[in-house]
Amino acid sequence: MGTRQVKLIDVQEGGKQSSLRLLAPLRYLKIRHPEKRKYDIIIPAAAGVVAWVVYMVLDPRPALFGDTGLLRFARDLLVMAVPFMVGALAAVSMGAPGPNLDRRPIGAELWLDNDPLTMRQFLCFLLGYLSFLGLVVLAGVVTAGLMKDAVVTWTASAPHIRMMVQAAGSLVLSLSLSFLSVTVLWSLYFLTDVANRKGA
């Protein structure tokens, strides 16, 4: 009896081909819930744009680079936060069965691919997405720090382009941190409130 080799692009979910295995945490965005779009997209995007506008109108603006720059603080925070998020995912996914985590949430149900999710399933998707988002933001922050000198050199004779790059980069940073922060608060809400609600 032969076995079929499982390849990176051949993840099976419910019998049908899914996306790349390394992008599986993004399936969280496909989960349906009445409030989810607001906390996944609308609030983070609005908060990120507002924070960016405030940053752009400040005079003088806080530094992005250097020992006291925003990127340094973001990097240090993410270096601590990402392992914690991965650990939280492991704790939830491997935890003992219980009446709170292994039931469907009270109120509006959570759906993925037309299947209702239990609290444990949803929290695994949420914490997986959060870990993925944290890793992506951390990689972006580190890359920005490494590319700073190169960008300064490339734009030495075009200060207006340098200002555009700085504005675009600060917008990306603001949006990234906003999406990450709102998702952290959303996960804390589910872990502390929804997961501990008593059934009827």
Amino acid at 110: L
Question: CA–CA separation, 149 vs 163, rounded Å?
Answer: 14
Amino acid at 183: T
**Who wins on pLDDT, 185 or 3?**
185
Domain that holds residue 40: 35-196
119 within some domain:
yes
pLDDT at position 175: 95
Q: How many domains does the chain have?
A: 1
165 within some domain:
yes
Q: Could you tell me if residue 110 is left (phi over 0), alpha (psi between -120 and 50 degrees) or otherwise beta?
A: beta
73 within some domain:
yes
pLDDT at position 200: 46
Question: CA–CA separation, 33 vs 43, rounded Å?
Answer: 15
69 within some domain:
yes
Model confidence pLDDT, tens digit, residues 8-50: 454 444 444 445 788 888 888 888 888 888 989 999 999 999 9
Tell me the three state secondary structure of residue 111.
strand
10 within some domain:
no
136 within some domain:
yes
Model confidence pLDDT, tens digit, residues 95-111: 767 666 677 776 667 88
162 within some domain:
yes
Model confidence pLDDT, tens digit, residues 136-189: 999 999 998 888 888 888 888 888 888 888 889 899 999 999 999 999 888 888
pTM above 0.85, yes or no: no
74 within some domain:
yes
